[in-house]
Amino acid sequence: VTALGNLNSREAILNAAKEAVQAHGYNGLNLRDLAQDVGIKAASIYHHFPSKAELAAAVARRYWEDSSAYLERLLAETADPVECLRRYPETFRWALENGNRMCLSSFMATESDDLPEQAKQEVRNFADVNVAWLSKLLSMAGSIPPAECEPRARAIYSAIAGAQLIARSRSDIALYDELVESYRAAGLLRL
């Protein structure tokens, strides 16, 4: 019977918190402002999440789950692994297009020292999911030796994260595109 009453508030909190953390980070996330976005009071957030830290962990968890689902879908829809890999940088481009935000995991990774263990783990999961996907695709593409697929996947992931960080700090999407193009030209993304 009954009872999904608070699901709307919970969902709204998670979504608004995600956007806020992508712009201001965990330390910059303000519960009173967040509550106002959702249309409730700050104290009410505690009915859905026991603390700001656990809210952040929940947001980070959903973030990598969504990322993982998207990447699997991309792989399922795009037959060619090379084409799939070519499109990977797009995923980090959207955050820049959407209000000059950045990857929630990159931001929270930067704030590692101020995060509880659970939140840090979810941040690591995002990186692991992305690296595993890249590694699998590189392996499928078959253009570099199998032993180099995982190191290369990590290199691509960290380089893309860096490009997003730099481009965002200048509010310059064209710079992001230029950096990705340079990575290709230099061989990092060449397949």
Residues in contact with DNA by the rule CB under 7 A: 3-7, 9, 29-33, 35, 40-44, 46-48, 50-53
Sequence-ordered list of residues with C-beta below 8 angstroms from that of 10, at least 6 positions apart, any chain = 48
Distance of alpha carbon 52 from alpha carbon 38, whole angstroms = 15
Distance of alpha carbon 176 from alpha carbon 169, whole angstroms = 11
From the CB of residue 59, how many other CB atoms can be counted at a distance below 10 Å? 26
CB 129, CB 67: distance < 8 Å: yes
Q: Which amino acid is at 166?
A: I
Size of the residue set binding a second copy (CB under 8 A)? 49
- Least distance (Å) from a second copy to the CB of residue 70? 20
Of 48 and 159, nearer to a second copy (C-beta) is 159
Choose the contact partner of 4 out of DNA, a second copy, none; CB within 5 to 8 A by kind.
DNA
**Judged by CB under 8 A, does residue 42 bind a second copy?**
no
- Least distance (Å) from a second copy to the CB of residue 2? 41
Sequence-ordered list of residues with C-beta below 8 angstroms from that of 101, at least 6 positions apart, any chain = 19, 22, 23, 95, 168
DSSP class per residue in 13-31: HHHHHHHHHHHHTTTT--H
Chosen residue from 49, 63, 107, 133 binding a second copy by CB under 8 A:
107
Of 48 and 107, nearer to a second copy (C-beta) is 107
Of 29 and 45, nearer to a second copy (C-beta) is 29
Choose the contact partner of 117 out of a second copy, DNA, none; CB within 5 to 8 A by kind.
none
Residues 60-99 that bind a second copy (CB under 8 A): none
Of 29 and 71, nearer to DNA (C-beta) is 29
In the chain, alpha helices (H) = 7-24, 31-38, 42-48, 52-77, 81-97, 104-110, 117-141, 146-169, 173-186
Return residues touching a second copy (CB under 8 A). 23-25, 27-28, 100, 102, 106-107, 109-114, 120, 123-124, 127, 148, 151-152, 154-155, 157-163, 165-171, 175, 178-179, 181-183, 185-188, 190
